[in-house]
Amino acid sequence: MSTQAAEGLRGRKKRQTRTALGHAAVRLVAEHGLDHVTVEDISAAAGVSPRTFFNYFAGKEDAVLGPDPEAGPRMRARVLAAPAELSAAAAVRDALLAEVAAELADDRELWLQRMRVVQQHPVLLAKVFSGGEVVERELVAGIAERVGLPADDTYPLLLGAAAGAAFRVAIARWAGTATPLHVLLAEAVDMLAHGLAEPHRD
């Protein structure tokens, strides 16, 4: 729900091809496993040539993960737009929760299947992290701007990295339980805000 207006017939078809490739990649890998699926398979399933595949994605992994280039700027904007009375940590917390809500609303089923595939293929996990790195960089920039520190200061870097950590942990737990993602994410973020103190035991 970001750039749907004034796209023209050209852009529309491009977007269609891209999502067709992405969906095919997730489905095929879920069915046959990552290294029993070739770029040729994915292209065929999406009805384009293998060469065209590489016009859209850098490789199999990218197609499965379908990285969102707007996620970084969005997080940055969210952090900067948060009410001024909130602490930076609280602003990041809210930004994370809002982002998760928006992402899931977009394409819930695909997301879940994607996560399942990622859990089964450590190679994909690596790509997720490096993708998260790009987002994290923008997030760090937003935090730095908000608190008035340079972007290479420990505080913005660490808050950004911690946000990434909380996100990953929430995702990991989500894949194994029935608890809603936003609950798990809030739990993780709150734990960070309390200095990682040991939780009370039953």
Partner DNA sequence: TCACAAGTGTGCACGGTCTGCAAACTTGCA
Partner DNA sequence: TGCAAGTTTGCAGACCGTGCACACTTGTGA
Window 75-94: contact mask with its own copies (x via CB under 8 A): ------------xxx-----
Closest listed residue to residue 68, CA positions, set 100, 44, 45, 97: 100
d(CA 191, CA 198): 9
Give whichever of 103 and 187 is closer to its own copies, judged by the CB atom: 187
Region from 8-16, 116-124, 161-169, 173-181 binding DNA, contact rule CB under 7 A: 8-16
d(CA 127, CA 140): 20
d(CA 102, CA 89): 20
DSSP 82: S
Residues 91-130 that bind its own copies (CB under 8 A): 122-123, 125-127, 129-130
The angle formed by the CA atoms of residues 120, 101 and 6, to the nearest 5 degrees, is 100
Window 48-87: contact mask with DNA (x via CB under 7 A): xxxxx-xx--xxx---------------------------
Q: Which residue has the tokens 């990218």?
A: 62
Q: Is 30 in the site for DNA (CB under 7 A)?
A: no
Helices H, strands E: what count in the chain? 10, 0
Tell me, by CB under 8 A, how many residues bind its own copies: 43
Q: Is 14 in the site for DNA (CB under 7 A)?
A: yes
Q: Is 27 in the site for its own copies (CB under 8 A)?
A: no
Phi, psi dihedrals of residue 40, rounded to the nearest 5°: -60, -45
Region from 31-39, 67-75, 109-117, 164-172 binding its own copies, contact rule CB under 8 A: 164-172
d(CA 58, CA 83): 39
| Closest CB 116 distance from its own copies, rounded Å | 15
Q: Which residues make up the interface to DNA (CB under 7 A)?
A: 8-11, 13-14, 17, 38-40, 48-52, 54-55, 58-60
